[in-house]
């Protein structure tokens, strides 16, 4: 997609998906469009998203979510932390129905709206209105996903005591990821962890490029 296309809007969700070469089943496109409509409706009452055009919804929210979904093995248990309005967790649940997806949001108003969205769309997604650290004291997952939650050093500090509750961490980051990695190393929170760039992909507009980082426990630990 060109920068010029990224600033224009689309007539339908299917058109926006096609512009990004995202191929989904018709039923998935319909469910994703229902989610988009419900999300935007709730956004008029509570701030859930700034991406209120089809171009931005697909070019940012769906693209990030699909890139994450492509990195998760079949039938994994996935937790989206700091889910906000449901990105990436609810989108992942729609495009990868084989996964067992849960979303976690500590802001109670947003968590309640997430539950209402899940109920309205009949999505097989668990919603938790608490901090991720509290949830990881009680539940285990195969993968944690996160986008725009916190800088790498802060996020790894929060999750440090809980590596026994999940196997891998998949993080959407922008061009500042190298600086964030340096800060995390400086603070010593990378010790015992292995960080790899799992995906790189173009984003429209000034964002330019996004990466997905995969963080796991080091083999020698």
Counting every residue, how long is the chain?
221
pLDDT tens-digit series, residues 202-216: 987 766 799 999 999
Domains identified in the chain, total number: 1
Average pLDDT of the residues of the chain: 94
Identify whether 84 is part of a domain.
Answer: yes
Identify whether 49 is part of a domain.
Answer: no
Q: In the predicted model, what is the mean pLDDT of residues 100-126?
A: 98
Identify whether 23 is part of a domain.
Answer: no
Res 203: pLDDT: 83
Identify whether 89 is part of a domain.
Answer: yes
Name the residue range of residue 87's domain. 60-217
Nearest Cα to Cα of residue 80 among 162, 149, 176:
149
**Residue 167 gets which letter from DSSP?**
S
Give yes or no for residue 3 having a pLDDT over 50.
no
The CA R_g of the chain, rounded to the nearest whole Å, is 17
Q: In the predicted model, what is the mean pLDDT of residues 134-159?
A: 96
Q: Residue 109 has which token pair?
A: 């108003």
Identify whether 155 is part of a domain.
Answer: yes
Partners of 171 in the beta sheet? 146, 213
Residue 55 exposed, middle or buried by CB count within 10 Å (0-12, 13-18, 19+):
buried
Identify whether 29 is part of a domain.
Answer: no
Identify whether 35 is part of a domain.
Answer: no
What's 157's domain CATH number?
3.40.50.150
Query: Which range, of 11-20, 59-68, 163-172, 198-207, averages the lowest pLDDT?
Result: 198-207
Instruction: Give the pTM.
Output: 0.93
pLDDT tens-digit series, residues 114-129: 999 999 999 999 999 9
Identify whether 167 is part of a domain.
Answer: yes
Res 6: pLDDT: 46
């Amino acid at each position: 997609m060109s920068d010029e296309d990224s600033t224009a809007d689309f007539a339908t969700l299917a058109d926006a998906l096609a512009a990004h070469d995202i191929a989904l089943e018709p039923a998935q496109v319909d469910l994703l469009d229902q989610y988009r409509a419900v999300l935007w409706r709730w956004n008029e009452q509570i701030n859930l998203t700034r991406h209120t055009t089809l171009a931005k919804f697909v070019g940012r929210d769906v693209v990030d979510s699909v890139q994450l979904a492509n990195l998760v093995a079949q039938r994994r248990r996935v937790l989206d932390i700091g889910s906000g309005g449901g990105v990436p967790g609810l989108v992942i649940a729609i495009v990868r129905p084989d996964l067992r997806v849960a979303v976690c949001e500590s802001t109670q108003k947003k968590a309640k709206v997430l539950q209402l969205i899940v109920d309205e769309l009949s999505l097989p997604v668990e919603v938790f209105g608490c901090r991720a650290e509290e949830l990881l004291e009680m539940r285990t997952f195969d993968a944690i996903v996160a986008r725009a939650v916190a800088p790498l050093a802060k996020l790894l500090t929060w999750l440090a005591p809980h590596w026994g509750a999940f196997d891998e961490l998949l993080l959407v980051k922008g061009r500042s990821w190298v600086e964030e990695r340096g800060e995390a190393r400086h603070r010593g929170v990378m010790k015992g962890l292995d960080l790899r760039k799992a995906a790189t992909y173009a984003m429209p507009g000034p964002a330019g490029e996004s990466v997905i980082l995969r963080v796991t426990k080091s083999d020698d630990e």
